[in-house]
């Protein structure tokens, strides 16, 4: 039932939960192992130190959420959302139906820092790594939801949060090869969702950028709430139906629910 606060749990196999972070680390250099300790790269991006920014790229984000220009508080909470979102696909490939949405008040909608009052919220869970989230499409830093009305920030959360499933290993590859494998031709020189072309000869290893699942990175305070590959400027969404993506800056197969230390909000390139 919509709004019910039903606890969810991580997989019983904790090793599986950490598998992709481990693979990324072991596939690259020693620097990648250091990354897993929570260090940031030499640009200071992606960490949680003094220079950490909020999910929109603003240092030490304000407590008061700034509304998009020309949008009233009522419109922000109830919609309508801009045309780009009305029937858009979510990260989990669900089409938004503007005539079948739930009010934020009915799903315990809250900011990440306030979500702990709900028993079903687990560390790391936020809209940016939810299957129903639709990332920013017009540069105003907000997104939308396939199930909930109004504007949605990636750092928010609600009680109908749906975990993104990890994609299946493509035919002909093993799990160990995902971090370094050459991506399919559709991705080799594809353009990221913020308009940057991928150069297959100028990529970083997944180990060097500390690639891991977004939920895990946020829970461990390596990433900030609201950060995932799904709303990163460098991410190249699924191009061939295998549910994997790629990155304009990082080699190998990339899942939409991942995160890395060079994360950059999609609106930063708008």
The pLDDT assigned to 18 comes to 41
- Whether pLDDT at 178 is above 50: yes
- Whether pLDDT at 30 is above 60: no
Contact 79, 126 (CB under 8 A): no
Could you tell me the maximum CA-CA distance found in the chain, to the nearest angstrom?
52
pLDDT in tens, 5-14: 544 433 344 3
The pLDDT assigned to 270 comes to 53
Matching CATH topology for 19-53+174-270 and 73-157?
A: yes
- CATH classification code of 73-157: 4.10.490
pLDDT in tens, 66-79: 899 999 999 999 99
pTM of the model: 0.76
Q: How confident is the model at residue 269 (pLDDT cuts 50, 70, 90)?
A: low
- Whether pLDDT at 44 is above 70: no
The pLDDT assigned to 168 comes to 95
Class of domain 19-53+174-270: few secondary structures
Domain extents in the chain: 19-53+174-270, 73-157
Q: How many helices (H) and strands (E) does the chain have?
A: 6, 8
């Amino acid at each position: 039932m919509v709004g019910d606060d039903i606890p969810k749990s991580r997989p019983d196999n904790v090793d599986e939960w950490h598998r992709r972070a481990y693979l990324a680390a072991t596939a690259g250099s020693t620097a990648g192992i250091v990354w897993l300790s929570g260090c940031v790269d030499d640009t200071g991006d992606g960490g949680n130190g003094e220079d950490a920014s909020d999910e929109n790229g603003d240092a030490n984000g304000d407590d008061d959420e700034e509304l998009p220009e020309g949008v009233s508080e009522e419109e922000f909470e109830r919609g309508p959302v801009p045309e780009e979102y009305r029937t858009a696909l979510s990260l989990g490939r669900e089409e938004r139906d503007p005539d079948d949405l739930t009010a934020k008040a009915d799903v315990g909608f809250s900011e990440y820092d306030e979500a702990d009052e709900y028993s079903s919220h687990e560390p790391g869970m936020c809209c940016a790594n939810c299957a129903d989230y639709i990332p920013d499409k017009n540069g105003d830093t907000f997104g939308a939801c396939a199930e909930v009305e109004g504007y949605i920030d990636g750092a928010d959360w609600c009680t109908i949060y749906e975990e993104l499933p990890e994609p299946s290993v493509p035919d002909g590859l093993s799990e160990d090869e995902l971090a370094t494998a050459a991506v399919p031709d559709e991705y080799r020189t594809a353009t990221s969702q913020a308009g940057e072309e991928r150069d297959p000869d100028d990529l970083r290893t997944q180990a060097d950028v500390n690639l891991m699942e977004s939920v895990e990175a946020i829970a461990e305070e390596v990433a900030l709430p609201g950060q995932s590959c799904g709303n990163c400027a460098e991410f190249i969404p699924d191009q061939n139906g295998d549910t994997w993506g790629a990155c304009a800056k990082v080699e190998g197969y990339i899942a939409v629910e991942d995160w890395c230390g060079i994360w950059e909000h999609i609106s930063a390139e708008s």
